Amino acid sequence: MAGSIAARAERELRSLVGVSSPSGDVAGAEEALAIAEALAPEEATAERVACSSPEHAPDLILRLTGAGAGRVLLVGHVDTVIPHRAHRPLAVEGDRLTGSGTVDMKGGVVLALGVLRALAARSGEFEQAALLLVCDEEWRTAPFAHATRFEGFDACLCFEAGQLTEAGEDAVVVRRKAAGTLRVRAHGRQAHSGSAPDRGVNALLAVAQAAQLVAAQHAPLGEHRLTAVPTVARSGDAFNVVPAEGELISDLRADDHRAFDAVRASIPDELGGARMETEMLRVWPGMDSRDSTAGLLAHATEALGRRVVAAGRGGASDASHLAAAIPITVDGLGPRGGGAHAPHEYILRDSLRSRAEVAAAVAQAWLTAGG
């Protein structure tokens, strides 16, 4: 299984990375999903379903129907955070394959398609195998639309980037933090900053205070391992006007999403005379499938001949949404690399083979367990 996946992986990755598909770009998503559909096994049926986010291209589901028992869902996304003007096609740079979306997560999509093709040849061993490819994972603030659609599936395999342990062992992700985006708006009063500054209420100063209050909640070593990081601040339109409006965006992560409530509550209704308004733009759940996946990873270790280790990661993923409906959820099955969301994004070329082996071993373990 792994050999045939790896043999095609680099060529298929070149095709997918050649398409610029930032979140929200319908044409880019359509082209990327058309390539994915062309790379799917002939036996797969394609279905387009409404995306979670409005005004996005429909998501793609590729389904295989078998004669056995058990249902497995493979998951990936084709959108990137890189705008068209900064898009980089695939290039070989030493031991790296660089390009926009390589590690996050078109490399994972390539491996997911390879696993789906391998499963097509073993249709007597499962009832259904499906691959869900979404086009809004990077910037989604709307509720995730697909968890109930796959409720009752036996396993979920998500192909975000892979990783190694400190000892150099292959790791998969079975634990993720919850993620939240907090928006704070400050409503002050405009005034001339030279002749009558004290008649105004400075929203910029209120936003600055709010940023300090959010940062004060940062407690990565605390009970919930909460991180609270102000990331975007906006205020003011002219150099000689007291700004009347301001906005602060902060990124929140924690083991339990309820820890975000304390951060939001730390912003009072008024700061420096400005009226403060808070809103959670998104809340993604955490994920902890360590117990439910222990047996599967033990079988995968046996099938692979080297350890497959359970690990955690702070970043959010669609696997977190699906884990609530599909307890046996494993993420981090994609190739290894770095530079996600940056111009130098890359995957390690040889990890296409090693991570194809890990993904194949996990799929084999699921089949061996009877679905």
Q: What is the pLDDT of residues 200-218, one digit of tens each?
A: 999 999 999 999 999 999 9
| Number of Cβ atoms within 10 Å of the Cβ of 327 | 14
The CATH number for 178-284, chosen from 1.10.8.100, 3.40.309.10, 3.30.70.360, 3.40.190.10, is 3.30.70.360
- Token representation of residue 103: 């590690």
pLDDT score for 101: 97
pLDDT score for 369: 82
pLDDT score for 357: 98
Which helix or strand (DSSP H or E) is residue 156 part of?
strand 155-158
Q: Which amino acid is at 277?
A: E
CATH of domain 2-177+286-368: 3.40.630.10
pLDDT score for 17: 98
pLDDT score for 371: 58
- Beta strands at 71-77 and 128-134: parallel, antiparallel or unpaired: parallel
Q: Which residues pair with 279 in a beta bridge?
A: 183
SS3 content of the chain, % helix, strand, coil (to 5): 35, 30, 35
Mean pLDDT value across residues 353-361: 98
**At a CB cut-off of 8 Å and minimum separation 6, what does 121 contact?**
none
Instruction: Return d(Cα 278, Cα 287) in angstroms, integer.
Output: 26
pLDDT score for 174: 97
Instruction: Return d(Cα 253, Cα 317) in angstroms, integer.
Output: 12
Residues constituting the chain: 371
pLDDT(3) > 90: no
pLDDT score for 67: 96
Mean pLDDT value across residues 283-291: 95
pLDDT score for 316: 84
Condensed to tens digits (0 to 9), the pLDDT of residues 24-74 reads 999 999 999 999 999 999 999 999 999 999 999 999 999 999 999 999 999
Mean pLDDT value across residues 132-142: 95
**At a CB cut-off of 8 Å and minimum separation 6, what does 195 contact?**
none
Mean pLDDT value across residues 7-21: 97
Condensed to tens digits (0 to 9), the pLDDT of residues 161-196 reads 999 999 999 999 999 999 999 999 999 999 999 999
Q: Which residues pair with 71 in a beta bridge?
A: 128
Which helix or strand (DSSP H or E) is residue 347 part of?
strand 346-348
Dihedral of CA atoms 284, 62, 160, 106 in degrees, nearest 10, equals: -120
Please name the residue ranges forming H helices in the chain: 2-17, 26-39, 107-120, 203-216, 260-265, 290-304, 318-323, 351-368
- Token representation of residue 346: 């890359």
Mean pLDDT value across residues 144-172: 96
Average pLDDT over all residues of the chain:
96
Mean pLDDT value across residues 85-112: 98
The pTM for the full model equals 0.91
pLDDT(370) > 80: no
Contact of 271 with 206, CB cutoff 8 Å? yes
Instruction: Return d(Cα 45, Cα 11) in angstroms, integer.
Output: 23
Instruction: Return d(Cα 180, Cα 283) in angstroms, integer.
Output: 4
pLDDT(247) > 70: yes
Contact of 146 with 133, CB cutoff 8 Å? no
Domain spans of the chain, in order of start: 2-177+286-368, 178-284
- Give, in order, the Cα–Cα distances in Å from 288 to each of 285, 291, 319, 348: 10, 8, 10, 28
pLDDT score for 91: 98
Q: Place 120 in a pLDDT band, splitting at 50, 70 and 90.
A: very high
